[in-house]
Amino acid sequence: MPAPETLARARAPRAPEVSDPASEPDHVAEASGLMARISRLWERDPVPDAAAVEPLLAARLTDVAANKLARLWCTGYAAADGKRRRAMLGALAQAAEASRERGEGCARLFKRFNALPDGLRFLVELRADMLRWRKQVAGVQGLDKELEGLLSAWFDVGLLELRRLTWDSPASLLEKLIIYEAVHEIRSWDDLRHRVAGDRRCYAYFHPQMPDVPLIFVEVAFAPQMADDVQALLDTQAPAPDMDKSRWAIFYSISNTQAGLRGISFGNFLLKRVIERLLEEAPKLKSFATLSPMPGLRDWLSKLSAQEVEQIVRESKSKVSAGAPDGARWAERLARSAKGKPSEALRRAGLRLAAHYVQTLRNGQPLDPVARFHMGNGARAERVNWAADVSENGLRQSCGMMVNYLYELDKLDENLTRLGQGKPPASRAISRLA
């Protein structure tokens, strides 16, 4: 991330560790008096400047006066409108820059906030604002980077609680599933009932400090083979699967609910815990895979030149003829054909492009965010599927195609090692296509 602007700010005196002015040296008593004046100022005007908020970064975590200021700041921020919040964030970013110039960081500030009642929830909401305004408020990018590092540790998957949702779960939780479903929209109460039915599974991850806030929803269907059509999985009129014959668990939707946790990995092997729970509940299961979108496929394809597309589709580096379609025209053709009857040549060309895309890396990580998540959890790209999601969203994002990622418990570490070596784990079928 680019470094924030360097802004010089006056340093407020460090707050004392004891709070009885009568027993303190003169300079400590003076600092305590300053903190009291700042506190009164904040109570009148909840937009303190950089110098006023600096004690939040400098004072020790046990400092009573600084912790009182932290409560005031959080209360004022939560009650503020957008304009006032941006001003408060700007002052905080300026104070953080001055702290970094002294060789200190912002960890103490965020730990102070986290120690407050409901502090972790507040920090998640604060980071959502940082992400929203990172290009509008100077210095917020540096502030966000430090907070992201702490949230990654505080939200490690090993600290989270996994709960199953059913039709009998609290209505407030089921409503959140409807609101936050980000992959395949829940269109009705019948649709919701179908997704939490007894022949399906829906799990949610919770943090112990936010017990009423589901962080991630994982939706699972059972099938006799690896699924290749999400419309069939979502069909509320389809007969229920025979659990005695179902050997595959298909993860068809994974949705994060908190904007402030964007980019937080929750640690590796998030789905491994779900698989372990599934094996406890349905021991006849043998295989575990996803049916996943490729949300960046069409955008990536639309930016390719005709020459680049030709090299992938034809496996040839020869010069393309004048008027050959570029990536944008290919994307339109593939999306249009997904709902029709394409030629075998066109269908295979689309699958080649999709296979190439899911193995494309940037800075050592998969370009596609869903591929990055699953490969980062130890899965491998197993198969690309034509016309697997012909919804409006599926056509807009990935020309109707989807990909299966395979989770083999004894190969998760091996796949992670391959990814770390710059070799995205993929099946022979996908490697041959690409």
By annotation, the residues acting in catalysis are 292, 374
Q: At what angle do helices 119-133 and 107-114 cross, to 10 degrees?
A: 130
The pairs formed by 166-171 with CB atoms below 8 angstroms and a separation of 24 or more are 166/196, 166/198, 166/202, 167/193, 167/196, 167/197, 169/196
DSSP states along 116-165? STTHHHHHHHHHHHHHHHTTTSTTHHHHHHHHHHHHHHHT-GGGPEEEEE
Q: What is the CA radius of gyration of the chain?
A: 26
Name the CA dihedral angle for 298, 302, 303, 308, rounded to a multiple of 10 degrees: 100
**Helix intervals (H) in 208-247:** 230-234
How far apart, in whole angstroms, are the C-alpha atoms of residue 368 and residue 381? 12
Q: Which helix (H) or strand (E) holds 50?
A: helix 50-58
Q: Both tokens of residue 80?
A: 């503020």
Task: Please say whether the beta carbons of 122 and 113 come within 8 A.
Answer: yes
Read off the DSSP letter of residue 223: E
Tokens representing residue 57 in the block: 């970064």
CA distance 287 to 27: 68
Q: How far apart are CA 25 and CA 236, in angstroms?
A: 74
E-strand spans in 271-353? 287-290
The CA–CA distances, whole Å, from 341 to 190, 232, 333, 347 equal 31, 19, 12, 9
Taking alpha carbons only, the member of 53, 18, 20 closest to residue 39 is 53
In angstroms, the CA 72 to CA 16 distance is 18
Strand-strand pairing, 287-290 and 248-256: parallel
Judge residue 172's burial from the number of C-beta atoms within 10 Å of its C-beta, 0-12 exposed, 13-18 middle, 19 or more buried. exposed
